[in-house]
Each structure stands twice: as C-alpha cells, then as structure tokens.
Amino acid sequence: MPNKHGRFGRFGGRFVPETVMPALLELEDAYLKLKQDEVFQAEFRHYLREFAGRPTRLYFAENLTRHYGRAKVFLKREDMLHTGAHKLNNALGQALLARRMGKKRIVAETGAGQHGVATATVCALFGLECTVYMGKEDMERQALNVFRMRLLGAKVIPVISGSGTLKDATTEAIRDWVTNVRDTHYIIGSVVGPHPYPMMVRDFQSVIGEEVKVQILEIRGAYPDYVVACVGGGSNAMGMFYPFRTEPGVKKIGIEAAGKGLDTGEHAASLTQGKPGVLHGALSYVLQDNDGQIIPAYSVSAGLDYPGVGPEHAYFHDAGIVQYAAVTDNEALAAFQRLSRLEGIIPALESSHALAYLETLMLKTQPEQTVVVCLSGRGDKDVQMTARLLEGAV
C-alpha cells in the first residue's frame, strides 16, 4: 500500500492541477529510489539520532497508572524530540529528500506551528530558503511559534482566506508550490495531500511505532494491548499504528477532536462525522455539506483543527484496522491538567486528546495489560492560551 496510483483501497490519489503533476511524479520517483538507498537511509538515521535526539523514551507513567488502577500506561515521549514534537521526523526526511532533488526553496503549511517550526529548523540546518503559511487565527493562538520560526530564518505568511486556519494555510501552500514548482519542494506536515505524500510522511513517521515495538518488548516482553494517538491529519497516529497494522492483538485507537461536541457541528471529527470527498489532492473523509463545500473544522487545538484526514486512515477506518473515537475540548483540557499534575509533564493540547481517551479506555483494561499513548508534543506552546481558558481553574 498504496498501489501505483497512490490509492489505499479507494482512498488517496492525486487530485491536483496538471501544473504540479510532473513534480509529483518526479517526487515519487526520487523518493522510491532513496527509500532503497542505504546511504540516504543512513543519513536520515544519523540526523534523527544526532540532531533530533532519537530514540525517544517509552516512559512508564507510574502515577497515571496508579490513578486509574488498571493497565500499565506508557508514554511515547515524542515531546522530548528536538523542537518539541514528532513533526521533526518528517521535516528531516523531506528536507534531506529536497536536498537530494536539488530544490533550494521549501514551502510548508502549519496549524499549531509545530510543523512550521520543524520545517524552519531543518531549513536552517541545511541552508534552505523557507516560507511557511499559517492561518491568521492560528498565528494569534500560537504567537510563540511564529516568533520561533522567524528566529530560525523562515518567512511566515499570514493566511486570511477562508477560515484562516490550517485548511486555508494548506491551500495557500499548494498555490505557492504550483507557482514555484520548478525550484521549490513542498514539505507537507501530515499524512495528507496527493500521492506520494501520505506514503512518504507515513514512512518518515513510522520510526515512532518501530521504536515502541523494540522498547516495549524489552520492558514487558510483549506487544502492547492498546496504542492510542490523536488524529488531525494523522501523522503521529500513522507513525504509531503503521508498524502494528498486521498485529490484530494490538488494538489501535485514533482520537479525533470533538471540539464543542459532535452534535454542535463545531468539531474536527472527519472520520467519525465526515463523508468521503476530495480535499487538498486526496480522496478521504472530509467535513462537507451536501454540495461538497468544505465545512471549516473547529478544535481548541490548532493542530487538530482540520476538516480532512489522511487517506490511509480512511482506509484503516473502513477496513476496521484502527478504531476511531473523539473527545471534546473540555475533556482534552482536563487531560492536559491531569498529566501536568500527576506526571510533571505538560502535554500538547493535540496529545491531550489521546490522553483524555484513557478516561473511557482504562475502565475496560486489566492490570496485566499495557497501553501506549503517543505523547506527540509538549504543551509549552499551549500554556498561554490554556491559561486564558482555565483562568480561575488553575
């Protein structure tokens, strides 16, 4: 998977203007060659280890485990990765690829700013020119990350079209790429977009699940019973789930953002509430009206605030390989505080969605079982906004 047309079952594909089709074919060709290239793979592993700080720890959350009194809870500490989130895995892989392809300029979109920071970081590292598109609303929500990107030498362009969030930043990044396709590589931040992006980003993020496999065997001598990860576009979840896709004994659960509640219409639960459709070049589940107009998503977490989802998740959903559920803003905010208090770890609001699902999941587990949660990023970026939301409560 995917097949040569970039399809995961019926999902995926390349629904893009002719102008960028040759670039996608060139990219696919280059990537498939480098995937087999030992020198490239060694180079990628080198930067993951020496620059990013991999492997990240699989941490036994003793207090959280005691709190629930059921299965043992482990946290995959992607929050400990350089720049503070799993996004760097993919940004490093794609920047190395762009360098091999002779592209001098990088364009990216960002929601919470973590992918923008990761991209700006690798561009600084490899001397590439970097332009990041970010929704105006997100720039306000994540002012600190905007400053970080600028500090790293990136140009951050506010996007005011549409709803001014991740969806519109992605559309604007694609427009830039269509315009400058000859010398520019588009580092898409999630397992979304046209083929070969969902496959490529998945491969670069699979290091998460591959490490968990080795680490959990070492600690527990068996694979986990459950792996849980949050899903916006779905890159940290795909990185966690993909290596376990053929292990039916490992139950994989993806958590979407239910925003203010699934029945309010203000959420970002594309898989739970959307219909198949085309957004940003791929056929997947999309929040849309009966005419196929895209409905803006809503979530307290800028990184999950996206009305689509990666096409391989759509396939996993329909094939029953992964189960998907959704938690609300309030549940995520409670989990954000819970982990901070219990474990001394402030999680990203995105990752807090996965943690919030423990409230439901743990009741079904037994003490001899294990649950691994992907702690995809750290919460420093969210402190300012959550302080506003939780004023009086903290």
Partner 1 sequence: MTKITAALNKQKENGSKGLIVYLTAGYPDYETAFRAVLAASEAGADAIEIGMPFSDPLADGPIIQKAAAAALKGGATTAKTRSFIERIRRYSPIPLAVMTYINTVLQYGSEEFVRDFSAAGIEGLIIPDLPIEESGSVEPVCRKYGLDLIKFVAPTSTEDRIASIGRQAAGFLYCISVAGVTGVRDVDYSAIGEVVQQARRYSNIPAAIGFGIGSPQAACRAAQHADAVIVGSAVIERLMTGGVDAVREFVETIRQALDGRGI
Q: Which residues are catalytically annotated?
A: 87, 109, 376
**Nearer CB in complex with partner 1: 23/346:** 23
Contact yes or no for 327/48 (Cβ under 8 A): no
Nearer to partner 1, 52 or 181 (CB): 181
Buried b (16+ CB within 10 A) or exposed e, 199-221: bbbbbbbbbbbbbbeebbeeebe
Nearer to partner 1, 193 or 209 (CB): 193
Query: Minimal distance in Å, beta carbon 172 to partner 1?
Result: 9
**Contact present, 373 and 352 (Cβ < 8 Å):** no
CB distance 77 to 56 below 8 Å = yes
Beta bridge partners of 132: 108, 156
8 Å CB contact between 236 and 346: no
Question: Is the Cβ of residue 28 or residue 211 nearer to partner 1 in the bound state?
Answer: 28
Comparison of 19 and 63: residue with beta carbon closer to partner 1? 19
Q: How far is the CB of 102 from partner 1 (least distance, A)?
A: 16
CB of 286 to partner 1, least distance (A): 7
Min. distance of Cβ 354 from partner 1 in angstroms?
28
Angstrom distances, CA of residue 99 to CA of 65, 126, 184, 292, 344: 44, 8, 11, 38, 39
Least distance CB 267 / partner 1 (angstroms): 18
Pick 152 or 286: Cβ nearer partner 1: 286
**Both structure tokens of 17:** 């203007």
Facing residues of 251 across strands? Answer: 226
Q: Residues interacting with partner 1, by CB under 8 A?
A: 5, 13-23, 161-162, 167-168, 171, 174-175, 178-182, 275-281, 283, 286, 288, 290-294
CB pairs under 8 A, 24+ apart, for 354-358? 354/228, 354/229, 354/230, 354/255, 356/255, 356/327, 356/331, 356/332, 357/228, 357/253, 357/255, 357/325, 357/327, 358/64, 358/68, 358/73, 358/228
Q: What is the CA radius of gyration of the chain?
A: 19
Residue type, 4: K
Smallest distance, Å, CB 134 to partner 1?
A: 17
